[in-house]
Chains A and B, each alone.
Chain A
Amino acid sequence: MIKIKAIFICLILISIGAVAQEKEKGKLDHDFELELETSYLGYFKSASFDGQKKHFPSIAVRPEYTLSWNNGYESITAKAFFRLDVDTERTHWDIRELYYQKAKNNWELSLGFKKVYWGVTESNHLVDIINQTDAVESFDGEQKLGQPMLQYSLNTDFGTFDLFYLPYHRKRTFAGVKGRFRFPVVLDKDAIGYESGAKEWRQDIAFRYSHSLDIFDIGLSHFYGNGREPLFQFDDTGAINAFYPIINQTGIDLQITNNAFLWKLESIYRSSDAQSFMALTAGVEFTISNIKNSGIDIGILGEYLYDERDELALNALQNDVFFGSRIAFNDVQSTQILLGGISDLNNSSKIFSIEASRRFGESLKLEIEGRLLSDIDTSELLLSNFRNDSFVKISLFKYF
């Protein structure tokens, strides 16, 4: 933590220096935004394990500040996050972003805590690896922790090259005693160790090449460093041994955009001393737009998910099919609904989901999210622990 603070201080000093220079020229743009969230998360069924609660009211705050100059080619972005929740592990704060960025001609440099997203599929995000998942914040893994990095990006006529230097690893947070989506034993984030002797200070690197050519959007990536997912090993007594392995992960993501059809593929090969496997998500999204001139778009999604880890896949998507539908009303309130269902092809397990949102007035938004875990097979090593964790979450956002 001391070293993290040192990085922060260095960043702030660099920024102050850069800003002081620019201030004399008087071309600074400021922007401050604040988002408040109040939400209620409720579980339908009684707890599986001692101590787990059923009702989780909570509040969250997301302030952000952007300072830009040099016609926007240089900037400092800061975004913070704080949640107060019934579950002590879910009560947490984070620096989502705090970075300096400079762009010039065809290159771009970023230094600091940043979020980076890779990938094309909807039901699973295999290729995306730069940031640690904020696991207590999102069921779908789309919320991420800020990752310290130095990123250099170069745009050429034959594609974009991205280089990442990642000096620090951030651990995944798991639900506390009161929280759902946990195992009988509460996983202590700090107790999960590393394969690497350098632990969280292992100096990691990543590379990505991406290109858009006609109807093809392709990305090739490689990551070498501390894995973002802890590896679970179960001994004969049922005790869990978990650690972050050193991994090499090669990924490919491809989208072919053919009129109303989006064909998507993501695949990874991850290797470490303890475990090597491949995983794949592939599918199609088809949109019928402006149905009968109503402005409504209906998208149909279908994806197949495969993971060679089988039962040990942390997200339990080892041989599954996803079907979904995205309905965008394209009205003044930007009403949207996303419905989905994932079905295990090997057993009875199914997960249904709904995500809906609508704006009220100019600065309020209501969001509803629900997950229904149905017929979870008792033989599912990880997912069976969550069989009573179907939930609904209602959130109201206010923007200032």
Chain B
Amino acid sequence: MNYKKGIVTTVFALSALSTFAQDAKTKGLEIAKAADLADTGFNSSTVALKMILKNKNGQTSEREMHTKTLELALDGDKSLITFNTPKDVKGTATLTFTHKEGSDDQWLYLPSIKRVKRISSNNKSGPFMGSEFAYEDLSSQEVEKYSYTFLKTENNILIVEQDPVDPKSGYTRRVVSYNKDKAYRIEKVDFFDRKNALLKTLSYKGYKMYKNKYWRAATMLMVNHQSNKETTLQFSNYNFDSELSEDDFSQNALKRSGR
């Protein structure tokens, strides 16, 4: 009898555990969706961006760029990034069509020879312009690109583990801190490498609300714990009134932005 009881208890415990796991997954996804919904409806935005690269000896190097983003309801966002400095790459620009599922489409404009080149979006884990940001860190964060597990609540912070769907990602998982009192804005992300060791931490600072709805950080600091290098992104002149359309994200627009 004891034996039978044992089985029943185990089965019960296992199913409770799996229900619990299922709950954690559901809750994680719900939080990600809530954060996505809270940021829906901005249509388009432009922002100036300064990237400060710091090596382990504290030497710094700067890049300035300009970003335009177009929000799409049915598919991922479109974005256009144009470099202003370093001067030798001035006018170099990238146009990215993010897709909720499958590979993103990406074009690179080389202003010296006026060439638009379709490039592979395969390189997700590689560094963006020598910085501590990987391409995947800067691409549009679509809900469909991760699977979710809710971990815990700490005061007003909800901590969710995100596992990238794409096997080409450089991470096994990301641990994301959402602020439930501030429209689920992200406060911090810990990145774990393919060996599941802590690789980087991204902190969001100087949040400001735009259009009474959208939280945007003035500073994003990425610290690489393994190389001791850091990259700071400073955002300025956020504009949510530019009323951009798909025509501002064509290959002609890409060429115009770099001239």
Contact = CB atoms under 8 A, between A and B. Distances in A.
A379 interface: no
A347 interface: no
A160 B115 contact: no
Contact of B122 (A120, A144, A259): A259
Given A289-B123, A332-B61, A362 B252 contact: no
A295 B127 contact: yes
Interface stretch (A12-20, A102-110, A265-273): A102-110
Interface string B116-148: 111110110111011000000000000000000
A311 to B, nearest CB: 28
A143 B113 CA distance: 7
B219 interface: no
Q: For the side of the interface on B, what is the size category?
A: 35 or more
B123 A153 contact: no
A116 B117 CA distance: 13
Interface in B215-259: 242, 245, 247, 250-253, 256-257, 259
A359 interface: yes
Given A116-B114, A332-B61, A333-B130, A212 B259 contact: no
Given A330-B127, A332-B61, A362-B61, A115 B247 contact: no
B118 A212 contact: yes
A33 B90 contact: yes
A262 B103 CA distance: 14
A183 B116 CA distance: 35
B76 to A, nearest CB: 15
Contacts of B126: 289-290, 295, 297, 330
B125 A75 contact: no
Q: For the side of the interface on A, what is the size category?
A: 35 or more
A72 B247 contact: no
A101 B256 contact: yes
Contacts of B55: 332
B41 interface: no
Given A103-B256, A255-B118, A363-B87, A334 B130 contact: yes
B28 interface: no
Nearest to A104: B247
B256 A332 contact: no
Given A287-B122, A293-B125, A297-B126, A77 B259 contact: yes
B95 to A, nearest CB: 10
A103 B259 CA distance: 13
B122 A293 contact: no
Contacts of B39: none
Contacts of B107: 212
Interface in B81-97: 85-90
A257 interface: yes
A365 B88 contact: yes
Contacts of B242: 71
A57 to B, nearest CB: 22
B252 A108 contact: yes
Task: Tell me what chain B mostly uses at the interface: helix, strand, loop, or mixed.
Answer: mixed
A38 B122 CA distance: 38
A262 B247 contact: no
Contacts of B158: none
A288 B53 CA distance: 25
B194 to A, nearest CB: 8
B120 A287 contact: yes
Interface in A141-189: 142-144, 153, 155, 160
A46 B250 CA distance: 51
B115 A212 contact: no
B123 A105 contact: no
B88 A359 contact: yes
A257 B118 contact: yes
Interface in A290-343: 290, 293, 295, 297, 330-334
B145 to A, nearest CB: 17
Contacts of A259: 103, 120, 122
Contacts of B245: 105
B94 to A, nearest CB: 14
A212 B251 contact: yes
Contacts of A262: 118-120
Contacts of B163: none
A362 B125 contact: no
Contacts of B253: 103
Contacts of A160: 250-252
A22 to B, nearest CB: 17
A155 B250 contact: yes
Contacts of A143: 113
B187 interface: no
Contacts of A139: none
B259 A75 contact: yes
A257 B252 contact: no
Contacts of B247: 105-106, 155
A397 interface: yes
Contacts of B115: 117, 119
A295 B123 CA distance: 10
Contacts of B251: 160, 210, 212
A66 to B, nearest CB: 6
20 contacts: A33-B87, A66-B259, A72-B257, A77-B259, A117-B113, A120-B117, A155-B252, A160-B251, A255-B118, A257-B119, A259-B120, A262-B119, A287-B123, A293-B193, A297-B123, A332-B130, A334-B86, A334-B89, A365-B88, A400-B87
Interface of B: 53, 55, 61-62, 85-90, 103, 105, 107, 113-120, 122-123, 125-127, 129-130, 170, 193, 242, 245, 247, 250-253, 256-257, 259
The 5 A-B pairs with the shortest beta carbon distances in the complex, nearest first, are A399-B87, A289-B123, A290-B126, A332-B130, A117-B114
